[in-house]
């Protein structure tokens, strides 16, 4: 994932979005990683995996699964 400063959202939005399409982009503020921009297809895959983990976990039980 390529890193961009928060300023890049206004100065180079096309480059940031192209990078996001290619697997994601990290946006930093004050030198800290603050945000991730990913394609919607990737987001949906992550959310489906989270839902499956939630459904597989017994209520009240702590799961150590790593996605």
- Quote the longest CA-to-CA distance of the chain: 47
- Residue 30 sits in a domain whose CATH number is 3.40.1620.10
Sequence length of the chain is 67
Phi, psi of 20 (to 5 degrees): -60, -40
Is residue 66 one of the residues assigned to a domain? no
Q: Let me know if residue 48 belongs to a domain.
A: yes
- Segments forming the whole domain that contains residue 46: 2-56
Question: What was the pLDDT predicted at 54?
Answer: 84
Quote the pLDDT of residue 56.
83
Q: In whole angstroms, give the CA distance from residue 44 to residue 40.
A: 6
Whether residue 8 lies inside any domain: the answer is: yes
pLDDT in tens, 14-58: 999 999 999 899 999 999 999 999 999 999 999 999 999 888 876
Q: How many domains does the chain have?
A: 1
Q: Tell me how far CA of residue 35 lies from CA of 9, 39, 54, 57, 60, in angstroms.
A: 12, 13, 24, 28, 30
Q: Is residue 7 part of a domain?
A: yes
Global pTM reads 0.70
Q: Is residue 26 part of a domain?
A: yes
49 is a domain residue: yes
């Amino acid at each position: 994932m390529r890193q961009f400063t928060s300023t890049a959202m206004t100065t180079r939005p096309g480059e940031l979005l192209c990078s996001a399409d290619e697997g994601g982009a990290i946006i930093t503020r004050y030198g800290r990683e603050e945000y991730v921009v990913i394609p919607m297809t990737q987001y949906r895959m992550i959310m489906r995996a989270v839902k499956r983990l939630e459904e597989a976990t017994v209520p009240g039980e702590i799961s150590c699964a790593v996605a």
